Structure 1
Amino acid sequence: MDGNTITREELYEEVWSTPVSRLAPRYNLSDVGFAKLCRRCNIPLPPRGHWAKLEAGQKIDRTPLPKVEDEGEIRVHVPDPAEAAMKEKARMEVEAREAQLPKIEVAETLRGCHQLVSTTNDAFQGARKRDDGLLHSPEGSQLSLLVSREQLRRSLLVMSALLKAFESLGHKVSAGPKIEINGHSVTLSIREATVKVEEEFDVSKESIEGRYDFFSERKRKKQVPSGMLTVAVPEAEAYWASGCRRQWKDTKTQQIENCLNSIVAGVLAIAEKKLEHELKEKQEAIRKAEDAKLQRQQAAERAKKREEQKQEQQKLQGLLAQASDLKHSREIREFIIYVRQAHESQGTRIDVDSELGKYLAWAELQADRLDPAINSPKTILDEVIPDESSFPSYRRW
């Protein structure tokens, strides 16, 4: 198994060797979610009382793993040890912070509620319902609420208790709501979940295509408010808030009114994470700026060295050229001496006006020209004559 996949056989072995209550957290799932995963993959779970019987020393046969057509790997999210440790540390910090907070109570009436709650309550009085029964957020609302008319009062009471709790801790609260903590804002929202139900309607009275269809009453599915509220912190969705709790929901055994201390502690933890993240970003920006500065300095030094190297190479090329010219100059002089001596050995004299005499005079001029120690006049060979392509062309109109 890698970090994201597991075979049915591997999961089957784990299910029958470790209780679901201990196995589910490894896959970042609840007990119910893990059981659904097993059922979806047709993996049998141990029956009730299985682990107690094992502890008692009883021998129990496993339910065989059924064969399926597709034995492909199952994709699951397996948190790595570092991620799990981070979440556990965040959980312990929130619990410690929560233990230090005074008990937060929800008032029984909206009288004396927070000003943002009072303003929002007034704005929602004329709010229209959506198709799913939740209220459209009206103009003038100061809070992020998406709830039904039946859960509006309850949502406002919860929000008022939270906002007052944050203010009692010295944090500024503004529309949104935004809670200012150490110069950084964290927002809150309350949402009501919807559920799918069936309702009966008369097809003869309502036709999607605008026609009358005389049939008996039929059923259709629609979304309706569930009465179950969730308090969420949008900032917790950010990658830097890994390990922080994102939301608190109503359950069958607990309502969000009993989670207010946990919510406040969780928001404080998220604000702290946000501060740490921004500090890291600033440090990273400083580091990148310093790296860029160092790279520019190093680039300038390399450019300087390249220029020095280029100049040194040019000097060397000049030296080699002069050495080559000197060699050629000496070879030409030796050639001139050789020709003169050859003629003298034959008893002939080279006339300066003869073709050979003129050629040898020209050769001496070239030897002087190539000799670095002699400052000889320039010849046509030293002139730089521009190529025709460097001159503009003129057309006759």
Structure 2
Amino acid sequence: MPTETHNFEREKLYEEIWSEPVSKVAKRYEISDVGLRKICVKLHIPVPPVGYWAKIAAGQTVKRPPLARIKGLTTYQRTVYRHPQDDERSTRTKARIGDDAAHAPEVPTVAPRTSIDDCLPLIKRMAKKLEGKQRDSRDWAYCDGAGLMRLSVSQQNSLRALLVLNQLLQTLSGAGYQLSTAGKENESAYVVVMDAKLTFRMKERSRQERVPLTPEQLAENKRLGFNRHSQRDVYHATNELEISAFRLGHSYADASTADSRSAAIETKIRAFVVRLRHFAIRNSVNAEIEAEQRVIAEARAAERARLEEIHRAELNRLKQVEEWASQLERANRLRALAAEFESRNRKSSDGVIDAAWIRRAADWLDPTVDCRWDDMDNVLSRYRAW
């Protein structure tokens, strides 16, 4: 399995992330900025705070913290799997996106609505669904079902989540992509972006807190001899929304965008729609490459079958030759026996088998001699067991 290994040196990485934004450094390492920040945490490298580069651009002098000495690891090794077709996929996708730029529809800037009454019918149905008793594992309002999209948020952020999802769907519709809410049975609502059917999940990130038992609960557990009370988790709202795009029928998110410290998700919708088209192009390229690989695999299978058939045919010929060699060896032994019979003037006790009879049998066995023996050849083949 082909892999690539990247080594992140602590001092070098420290200089890099304080010389230019983390997002640019991450691209060089072919990793997300979130992933690079996690590596910085593992290596105890301080990361520029929010607004650092804006202050630098404004000409301000900002003191950066020194890289403290540590006793732990100073190098982080990251190994990633590289598919043999990755370079081909990337090259084709970039070329296709470049060719598509002149034909791609204009993505409008849609302002978020302020009321559910101004939203799409789908959003109104989802708002009604959220009023029901369906809850997720965090005991938060949950919406899912045929003709709907998944949504899981705290009560305090349900309105904003619906309005953001509405903003996304209206932006997609404004760009010419069709919204469908009447698919097959149990099928989610989806938007057709080029050849890709995409459905969306709106989710609020949460902060988990383990609630310890009270002294009274601990005392009761001890008195009863078993854990009548157990610790439970409480999930707190973070006001951070995340939208993920899924191909219909798939459980792995193909693209996502979310609130961040520097920008709200409402400001990222237009760029997200552009990314969705790029994803659809990439998905189309992947389908083409997979189809090509299937053709190659089928051709290889056909060639393998052809070679195996040749191999079987040659084996059968070899068996025939070995049989002829065995018959020739038997024929030569009979001829030697015939010579002995002739030199000693011998016959069988019934007078039938003599040197001439043996030579005729040898010629009949010999595959190099065209000889017919009526007494043998006139018998049905199933009795021919010489």
TM-score by length of 1: 0.63
**Could you say which residue in structure 1 is the equivalent of 2:192?**
180
Among candidates 260, 281, 286, match of residue 277 of structure 1: 286
SS at match of 1:176: coil
> Do structure 1's residue 194 and structure 2's residue 200 form an aligned pair?
no
Q: Could you report, residue by residue, the CA deviation over 1:160-216 in whole angstroms, capped at 9, with x for unpaired residues? A: 2322333341424226331233454122111111125699x9947x73675699xxx
Q: Residue type of the partner of 1:207?
A: Q
Please give the alpha-carbon distance, in whole angstroms, between the structure 2 residues aligned to 1:95 and 1:183. Answer: 14
Q: Could you report, residue by residue, the CA deviation over 1:39-64 in whole angstroms, capped at 9, with x for unpaired residues? A: 53346889999xx9xxxxxxxxx978
* Matching of residues 216-235 of structure 1 within 5 Å: 222-235=234-247
Do the aligned residues in 2 keep the contact of 1:134 with 1:225 (CA within 8 Å)? no
**Could you say which residue in structure 2 is the equivalent of 1:356?**
none
**Could you say which residue in structure 2 is the equivalent of 1:104?**
110
Sequence identity, in percent? 15
* Matching of residues 194-343 of structure 1 within 5 Å: 194-196=206-208, 203=214, 207=217, 210=220, 222-235=234-247, 246-336=255-345
Do the aligned residues in 1 keep the contact of 2:14 with 2:67 (CA within 8 Å)? no
Query: How far apart are 1:79 and its partner, in Å?
Result: 8.8
Do the aligned residues in 1 keep the contact of 2:89 with 2:286 (CA within 8 Å)? no
How many residue pairs get matched? 331
RMSD: 4.9
Q: Could you report, residue by residue, the CA deviation over 1:1-57 in whole angstroms, capped at 9, with x for unpaired residues? A: x943637xx4324534773635443445566764553453346889999xx9xxxxx
Query: How far apart are 1:260 and its partner, in Å?
Result: 1.6
Please give the alpha-carbon distance, in whole angstroms, between the structure 1 residues aligned to 2:96 and 2:10. Answer: 28
* Matching of residues 340-379 of structure 1 within 5 Å: 360-362=346-348, 365-372=353-360
SS at match of 2:108: coil
Do the aligned residues in 2 keep the contact of 1:245 with 1:266 (CA within 8 Å)? no
Please give the alpha-carbon distance, in whole angstroms, between the structure 1 residues aligned to 2:104 and 2:118. Answer: 26
**Could you say which residue in structure 2 is the equivalent of 1:55?**
none
**Could you say which residue in structure 1 is the equivalent of 2:69?**
66
Larger mean CA deviation between 150-159 and 180-189 belongs to 180-189
Query: Quick check: which has more Rg, 1 or 2?
Result: 1
Unmatched tracts of structure 2, length 5 or more: 57-64, 182-186, 224-231, 365-372, 377-382
**Could you say which residue in structure 2 is the equivalent of 1:6?**
7
Do the aligned residues in 1 keep the contact of 2:247 with 2:254 (CA within 8 Å)? no
Q: Residue type of the partner of 1:318?
A: Q
Do the aligned residues in 2 keep the contact of 1:132 with 1:224 (CA within 8 Å)? no
Please give the alpha-carbon distance, in whole angstroms, between the structure 1 residues aligned to 2:314 and 2:94. Answer: 53
CA gap of 1:93–1:259, structure 2 versus 1, over 3 A, is farther
Query: How far apart are 1:98 and its partner, in Å?
Result: 7.9
Query: How far apart are 1:248 and its partner, in Å?
Result: 0.8
CA gap of 1:106–1:295, structure 2 versus 1, over 3 A, is same
Q: Residue type of the partner of 1:113?
A: C
